[in-house]
Amino acid sequence: MADRKRVLLIVAGGIAAYKSLELIRFLLARGFAVRCILTTSGAEFVTPLSLAALSGDKVYRELFSLTDESEMGHIELSRSVDLVVVAPATADILAKMRAGLADDLATAALLATDKPVMVAPAMNVRMWEHAATQDNLRVLAERGVHVIGPDEGPMACGEFGMGRMTEPGAIAEAIDGFFGAYRRLVGKRALVTSGPTFEAIDPVRYLANHSSGKQGHALARALAAAGAETILVSGPTQLANPAGVMVHNIRSAEEMLAACQSSLPVDIVVCAAAVADWRIKNPAAQKIKKHGPNGKGGGAPVLELAENPDILATLSKSNAQRAHLVIGFAAETESVVQHAIEKRRAKGCDWIVANDVSPGTGTFGGDANTVHVIDDAGVENWPRLGKEEVARRLTLRIADHFKKAEA
């Protein structure tokens, strides 16, 4: 196992466990060393013999086995690897991880590990949608656990929906991507904007947009995982603060700009926020009355708008504090690439990541994104990917960029 990256694969008890056999093959093909823990319920679906034969290593099963403990206890087992992957991650094991239970070898290893943890959830759609599961996932993500998938599709139980484990090839690719960028941005400072902005009309009303912040938050997470000191300036979202990231919560575009400027200097800027182009010129100090002053009826109010500062264009201006790499996003509904090329020139950023947000693409608020990365060298068309994967690949590209620039 000398210089190969080592993955501890925990196979929990779900019908998707058979896919973990394929995952082992994909990981070995990519040069990883794989060691397995099989839970008792996992053993109902795959045999220890199959896992051992494929991984070429002993399969660990018992928390209190004299032989296992003398050879390698759960502490050492969980720390002698570079990454712990739970695939399939059942609703049950996710709940145990969230609660910090350690009543078998798998959960004890997960509690004891000091290594990054990745989970690939797999369960019935109703179990996936249950508030308890969603809450557990949110807390785990907040603690820095990397979540891959799940995917949508027909399920073994005959239902259709979210909950299918991500295909083994894609999980292996995500693991590769994780190691690809792993610690490559140590020593760099990154600033990411995310989410919508809220522009006040009066103390209770505002203008906003549908941005979920998922792509921006995923980017902050991926940059932090790559070792960059990461600052996230976020408009209001439903998302958890990414672990290990300094977060500034703001509401308006003007507040976003101020928070960004106070974070300078940085090496990398990624503007993924959907900033409102306009704000209300003079927001009312008191709630505007439906029937006008004193209830006499004044008709609908007329809102005068003022242009918001363009944060990306401001941070792209060349001056002593300009980041080495400034990246913008361009959400377009037609002529996506052409408009993005023009936007890159107009804003003065180095790269622009263009995405199609037309109705029906599911990009706004959804978990997947189809992007085109545009820089001096031209246009790269990426396949449809999860937003986490887009973030990981972009982080890898950023790390490659610095490697070339500093060679």
Q: Phi/psi at 311 (nearest 5 deg)?
A: -65, -45
Residue from 275, 336, 341, 354 touching ligand C5P (CB under 6 A): that is: 275
Whether the Cβ atoms of residue 151 and residue 139 lie closer than 8 Å to each other: no
**Closest CB 401 distance from ligand C5P, rounded Å:** 18
**Segment contacting ligand C5P by CB under 6 A, of 40-48, 61-69, 120-128, 269-277:** 269-277
What the block records as the tokens of 332 is 């377009």
Cβ 24 vs Cβ 52: under 8 Å: no
x/- string (CB under 6 A) for ligand C5P, residues 278-317?
------------------------------x-xxx-----
Whether 157 is catalytic: yes
Site for ligand C5P (CB under 6 A): which residue of 193, 212, 230, 237? Answer: 193
Pattern 93-132, ligand C5P, x by CB under 6 A:
----------------------------------------
Of the ranges 135-143, 323-331, 369-377, 399-407, which one interacts with ligand C5P (CB under 6 A)?
323-331
CA atoms within 13 A on the CB side of 100: 3
How many alpha carbons fall within 13 Å on the CB side of residue 375?
A: 12
- Helices 91-99 + 131-142 axis angle, to 10: 50
**Piece of the chain touching ligand C5P by CB under 6 A; list 281-289, 291-299, 326-334, 389-397:** 326-334
Q: Taking the CA atoms of 91, 94, 99 and 102 in sequence, report the sign of the dihedral they define.
A: positive
253 binds ligand C5P (CB under 6 A): yes
Give the shortest CB-329-to-ligand C5P separation in angstroms.
4
CA distances 56 to 244, 265, 267, Å, are 36, 49, 43
Neighbours of 152 (CB within 10 A): 15
Residue number with CB closer to ligand C5P (192 or 396)? 192
Residue 122 CB, nearest distance to ligand C5P (Å)? 34
273 near ligand C5P, rule: CB under 6 A: yes
Give the total of residues touching ligand C5P (CB under 6 A): 15
- Here the tokens at position 122 are 């797999």
Nearer to ligand C5P, 141 or 312 (CB): 312
144: Cβ contacts below 8 Å, ≥ 6 apart: 116, 117, 243, 244
Burial class of residue 369, CB neighbours in 10 A (0-12, 13-18, 19+): buried
The residue (of 228 and 311) whose beta carbon lies closer to ligand C5P is 311
Closest listed residue to residue 179, CA positions, set 82, 77, 266: 82
DSSP string, 89-131: E-HHHHHHHHHT--SSHHHHHHHH--S-EEEEE---HHHHHSH
Stretch that binds ligand C5P, among 59-67, 265-273, 296-304, 366-374 (CB under 6 A): 265-273
Shortest Å, Cβ 384 to ligand C5P: 20
Cα 217 to Cα 212: distance, rounded to the nearest angstrom: 9
CB 311 within 8 A of CB 256: yes
Q: Which of 157, 260, 271, 349 is catalytic?
A: 157
Candidates 73-81, 151-159, 160-168, 272-280: pick the segment binding ligand C5P (CB under 6 A).
Answer: 272-280
Neighbours of 174 (CB within 10 A): 22
271 lies in the binding site for ligand C5P (CB under 6 A): yes
Tokens in use for 367?
A: 């978990």
Q: What residues pair up with 7 in beta bridges, in sequence order?
A: 34, 83
> With binding defined as CB under 6 A, does residue 351 bind ligand C5P?
no
Smaller CB separation from ligand C5P, 6 or 248: 248
Position 328 contacts ligand C5P (CB under 6 A): yes
Q: Dihedral, CA atoms, 378, 228, 141, 166, nearest 10 degrees?
A: 40
Residue 352 CB, shortest distance to ligand C5P, in Å, is 7
Residue 195 makes contact with ligand C5P by CB under 6 A: no
Site membership for ligand C5P, residue 219 (CB under 6 A): no
Which parts of this chain interact with ligand C5P (CB under 6 A)?
Answer: 193, 253, 271-273, 275, 277, 308, 310-312, 328-330, 343
> Catalytic amino acids?
157
